[in-house]
Structure 1
Amino acid sequence: MLLLLCGPALADTVRVATWDGKFSRKHPGILVKELASGDPVPGVDVIAEASPDVLLLTDLDYDAGLVALRLLADQAGGYPHLFAQRPNTGRPTGLDLDGDGRLGGPGDAQGFGWFSGQSGMAVLSRYPVELISDNSAILWRDVPSTAMVPEDTGHDIQRLASSGFWALRIDAPTPFTLLTLAATPPVFDGPEDRNGRRGRDEVLFWPNRLSNPATAPPAPWVIAGKFNIDPMRGDGRHEAARAVLADPRWTDPLPGQPTAAWDDLGELRLSYVLPDRALPVLDAGVTPPAPDAGPHRLVWVDLDLAPTQAQPPRPPPRPGPSR
């Protein structure tokens, strides 16, 4: 698999990408101000050079008018179709979820955030985007084989998604359903491993959802986003990432390829694009580290989405991973 950037060369080649780019700020409106200033914003050039046709960003501040997203899309090369909704990050719960004795802090929100919409998700696309379903309000306690326990704070109110679970129809030459996630990091808690357990269930959400014909959105699918779990290294429930990668319903185009690096932790694979097995993969890669753009790298996969292509049979649904 290539690790260098190269633009898609075929008319029916569609580049699908995800990136946990550094497009979040600690206060609302700052990102809009930076993008509107005319000064270069780190990371915009990474998107422009990779030139994905469909890009899921998992660290971009949400605003109701999508002003920041539109400015970013224009500066990154022009994307006529945009999608974002208010994420769970920063969404108040009214409870002291982090147990610090105070209400309204970033750790008390449905997903960690200093304000509602901080570090949300967004999709930039050269093809029309349509929301099929938004599963972001599903409670953690209600998902199959949940790792939540009755003793967890917020048992009756805590949503599973730290940011959001969207099923989006991408009207490419062969339409497909983009399934999004941005899981919580499996750290910043105590020995109860609440974040680790929650992250595990976030990573397993789509495999479980697709195993039930009553809840599965239309195929073919592409899972994209930040798992925040490496299959082998670092913190987190590694078995969850391994279960997803071993699932025969989709292809792992970049086995073992790290997507982020820290001075203390080294290189880890945390962001993924996993296409339906029925979609032919032409190429895949990870962008080089970008100065001032954060520790994560953009992950891209080139798919052959010619409308007349013969698709191989899809493996039958299988039960979701057990607890």
Structure 2
Amino acid sequence: MRMRTALLAALVVALGTVTATPAVAAPGFGSSGEASTVRVATYNASLNRGSAGALLTDLRSGTNAQAKVIAQIVQINHPDILLLNEFDYYPGLEAAKAFTTNYLQRSQNGHTPVDYPFMYTAPVNTGVPTGRDLNGDGRTDGPDDAYGFGAFPGQYGMLVLSKFPIDTAKVRTFRNFLWKDQPGNLIPRDYYGANADILRLSSKSHWDLPIDVHGRRIHLLASHPTPPSFDGPEDRNGRRNHDEVRFSADYIAGGARAQYIRDDAGRRGGLESGASFVMVGDQNSDPADGGPPGPGVGAIGQVLSLPRVHDPLPTSAGAVVASVGETGHRTPPQLRTADFSDPAPGNLRVDYVLPSRDLPVAGAAVFWPAPGQPGAELMPPTVSSDHRLVWVDLRI
């Protein structure tokens, strides 16, 4: 025990400078003609509940312990644009307004409140019944029988919070896009049989949100592919994860590669050539590790290898300490963003903020303080989430 304690202490000291930029409030707006630092973040906050209505009840109370910790983490990092994964969907932004009003706009343990005047959410596929028996258990009403795994419609949804205007009239969503319409898809047809052709590709959704940042249009590309696990030898989730990530890669690549893509309004094609963007979200894909062998492992490489994409490689000291004793992983521990169960799958890099190469990066980090550092008490999954907030500062 003494040797382990000493090792952890040494790692904290040695890796205390791993974080590229301190996790504090981003600089304010620049004056006219000046570049300003804008912080873009993603966070799988695990603000999902097991039954419809439960999250709204928690958020309206203003006293929910988990929501207070999540809000404190957001206040510490103070992103200007934030994607929250696993935030149950409610029409009319009911849950979003309750969270921002009762938690983010109130100081948590002395931290500066944060206000997001612009918010976006939309329906997702999780929990939406297909009316089919997809998993062969003789029922059509289970979470595995939905378009995306979920106990009720909207579970594990997505929410975008922004200090900058979102052009909602130009938002593109791809919730209804059919998996079969992706050329070269990996649908396990032997498993799904006649149901294969009704499956939607996105387990939640894929969004393209144009945001006006100091007069410059930046496309926030948000998604949350299914985990490549919780299945069988057919690898249905591993295959779906691969194709969901591939959808984002094709959309960013644009041109002929994206001609098959059609949004929910019927418009075809991907991102325009030269458009500035930031891809964000829990992609449930490590570049080299996690899950059984299959297409889901390393699927994110389809995006990372694109010439238009810049990977800032955000790091933390806490991930290194938390990974002590793990063996067989190839992704460097300082890059990991999630604290999953040991020994499998272990800590992985699955959460990403990936800007286009025309957006200069001023800093990047994973908010994962090592033991003894401020904020470390907020890290246990039982307190907040098994994922960590990831941010990148951009010069706009």
Question: Counterpart in 1 of 2:9?
Answer: none
Tell me which residue corresponds to 1:260: 338
1:64 to 88, 91, 95: 91
**Structure 1 segments unaligned to the other structure (5+ residues):** 306-323
- 1:23 Cα shift? 0.4
For the 8 Å contact 2:188–2:236, the answer to whether it is kept is: no
Q: Counterpart of 2:360?
A: 280
Pairing partner for 1:250 from 304, 309, 325: 309
- Partner Cα separation in structure 2 for residue 130 and residue 152 of structure 1: 41
1:36-64 alpha-carbon deviations (Å, 9 max, x no partner): 11214421211121111111111001111
Following superposition of structure 1 onto structure 2, how do residues 198-217 of structure 1 map, counting pairs within 5 Å? Answer: 198-213=240-255, 215-217=269-271
Where does structure 2 lack aligned partners over 5 or more consecutive residues?
A: 1-18, 30-35, 105-113, 260-268, 315-331, 369-377
**Contact 1:3-1:284 at 8 Å conserved across structures:** yes
2:271 partner letter:
P
C-alpha distance 212-243 of structure 1, shift in aligned 2 (>3 A): closer
* TM-score in terms of structure 1 length: 0.90
- Residues 286 and 298, structure 2, Cα contact 8 Å, conserved in 1: no
SS class of match (1:279):
coil
Structure 1 residues 39 and 10: CA distance shift in structure 2, 3 A: closer
Give me the whole-angstrom Cα distance separating, in 2, the residues matched to 1:268 and 1:301.
Answer: 19
Render the CA deviation track for 1:157-213: whole Å, top value 9, x for unaligned.
110000001110011122200111101011111101010000001111121123333
Alignment pair present for 1:37 and 2:61: yes
Structure with greater strand share of residues: 1
Contact (CA 8 Å) 1:3, 1:287: kept in 2 or not?
no
Give 2:178's match in structure 1, choosing from 139, 153, 175. 139
Q: Percent identity?
A: 42
Describe the SS at the equivalent of 1:62.
Answer: coil
TM-score (normalised: structure 2)? 0.74
* Secondary structure of 1:14 counterpart: strand
**RMSD between aligned alpha carbons?**
1.6
Q: Structure 1 residue aligned with 2:384, among 272, 293, 308?
A: 293
Matches within 5 A, 1:1-323: 1-2=19-20, 4-11=22-29, 12-42=36-66, 43-74=70-101, 75-76=103-104, 77-131=114-168, 132-153=171-192, 154-173=195-214, 174-213=216-255, 215-218=269-272, 219-235=275-291, 237-254=296-313, 256=332, 257-264=335-342, 265-288=345-368, 290-291=379-380, 292-305=383-396
Paired residues of 1:3 and 1:286 also in contact (CA < 8 A) = no
Q: Which amino acid aligns with 2:184?
A: S
1:88–1:162 contact (8 Å) kept in structure 2: yes
Secondary structure at the counterpart of residue 36 of structure 1: helix
Shift of 1:143: 1.2
Cα deviation 1:241-290 (Å, max 9, x = unaligned): 22321222111011651000123132100110100011001001111262
Q: Secondary structure at the match of 1:20?
A: strand
AA at the equivalent of 1:248: P
Distance 2:130 2:189 in 1: 18
- Runs (4 or more) in structure 1 with deviation over 6 Å come to none
Q: Whose radius of gyration is greater, 1 or 2?
A: 2
Q: Which amino acid aligns with 1:262?
A: F
